[in-house]
C-alpha cells in the first residue's frame, strides 16, 4: 500500500465483483482481508456479522497458507454454528486479475476493497497491520481489535475506527450499526483516516525518517 498515491480505478465491470463473490442484492459485504490463521481472530468477525443482524456475507480473501487447515475447519464450524455465510474466496482474489482454470474471473484485492461495506480486522497480534493501512487507503470503515501495536502506535494518532478490546460488546455493535447506516459519517471517518495515514505512514514520511537516521549514523545532513 502506497500513500499518498490514490487507489487505482475499479475493475472494468465493478458490478461483477459482488456477484462473483456470492454477495446478493441487498446484502452487505464484510471483508476479512487476511489469511485464515488463529491470531487473525476470525471468530470475532463471524460473531460481529451474526449479531449485527444485517443480511451479509463475510468474505475471507486469503487461504491459510502453510499453517495448515485445522483453524480453517474451526472457522467453518463456528460460522455454521452461528448461521453466518462465510465465503472462503482465495481462489477468486489474488495479487492481480486473471482467470481460474475453470474460467471464473479472478480479482485483485484492490478490486474487492471498494465494495466492502465493512473491513474486519480482529487480530489479536500483528507486527504492524498491513490490512489496516490497506483499508484506510481504500477509504473503508474498519472494525479492529485493540492489539498491542494498534493501541500503542496507531490509535493515539487519531484514527477513527470501530475498535473493541478482546470481545465484541454492545458498544461495538452500536457503533458498527451507526456507521453502516450513516454513509456520510463513514465517508468523513475514511477521509480523516486517509489524511492521517498520509501524515504518519506515507513513503515520503519513511524517506525523511530514513534520511534522518542515516544522517545520525554516518554524520551527514540531508
**Rounded-to-integer distance, Cα 36 and Cα 76, Å:** 11
* 88 close to 72: Cβ distance less than 8 angstroms: yes
* Rounded (5°) CA angle 208-214-3: 25
Average pLDDT over residues 179-204: 92
What is the percent of the chain with per-residue pLDDT over 90, rounded to a whole number?
A: 80
Please say if the pLDDT value at position 158 is more than 60: yes
pLDDT of residue 67: 85
The pLDDT tens digits of the residues spanning 139-155 come to: 999 999 999 999 999 99
What is the C-alpha radius of gyration for the chain, rounded to an integer number of angstroms?
18
Give CA separation, 172 vs 165, 179, 194, in Å. 10, 11, 22
pLDDT of residue 182: 98
Give the three-state DSSP class for 83.
Answer: coil
**Rounded-to-integer distance, Cα 59 and Cα 10, Å:** 18
**Which cell is 98 given?**
486473471
CATH of the domain spanning 15-218: 3.40.50.2000
Please say if the pLDDT value at position 203 is more than 50: no
Q: Which has the minimum average pLDDT: 127-136, 156-165, 194-203?
A: 194-203
**Which cell is 97 given?**
486479475
**Rounded-to-integer distance, Cα 13 and Cα 7, Å:** 16
Please say if the pLDDT value at position 4 is more than 80: no
**Which cell is 34 given?**
487476511
pLDDT of residue 15: 73
Amino acid at each position: 500500500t502506497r500513500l499518498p498515491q490514490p487507489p487505482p480505478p475499479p475493475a472494468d465491470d465493478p458490478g461483477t465483483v459482488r456477484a462473483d463473490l456470492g454477495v446478493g442484492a441487498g446484502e452487505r459485504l464484510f471483508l476479512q482481508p487476511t489469511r485464515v490463521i488463529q491470531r487473525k481472530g476470525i471468530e470475532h468477525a463471524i460473531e460481529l456479522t451474526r449479531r449485527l443482524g444485517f443480511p451479509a456475507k463475510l468474505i475471507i480473501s486469503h487461504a491459510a497458507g502453510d499453517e495448515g487447515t485445522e483453524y480453517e475447519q474451526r472457522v467453518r464450524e463456528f460460522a455454521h454454528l452461528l448461521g453466518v455465510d462465510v465465503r472462503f474466496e482465495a481462489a477468486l482474489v489474488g495479487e492481480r486479475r486473471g482467470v481460474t482454470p475453470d474460467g471464473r474471473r479472478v480479482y485483485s484485492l484492490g478490486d474487492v476493497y471498494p465494495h466492502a461495506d465493512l473491513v474486519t480486522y480482529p487480530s489479536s497480534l500483528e507486527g504492524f497491520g498491513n490490512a489496516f493501512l490497506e483499508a484506510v487507503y481504500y477509504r473503508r470503515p474498519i472494525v479492529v481489535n485493540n492489539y498491542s501495536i494498534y493501541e500503542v502506535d496507531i490509535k493515539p494518532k487519531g484514527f477513527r475506527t470501530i475498535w473493541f478490546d478482546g470481545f465484541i460488546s454492545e458498544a461495538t455493535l452500536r457503533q458498527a450499526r451507526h456507521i453502516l447506516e450513516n454513509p456520510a459519517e463513514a465517508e468523513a471517518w475514511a477521509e480523516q483516516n486517509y489524511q492521517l495515514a498520509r501524515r504518519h505512514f506515507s513513503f515520503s514520511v519513511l524517506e525523511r525518517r530514513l534520511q534522518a537516521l542515516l544522517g545520525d549514523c554516518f554524520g551527514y545532513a540531508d
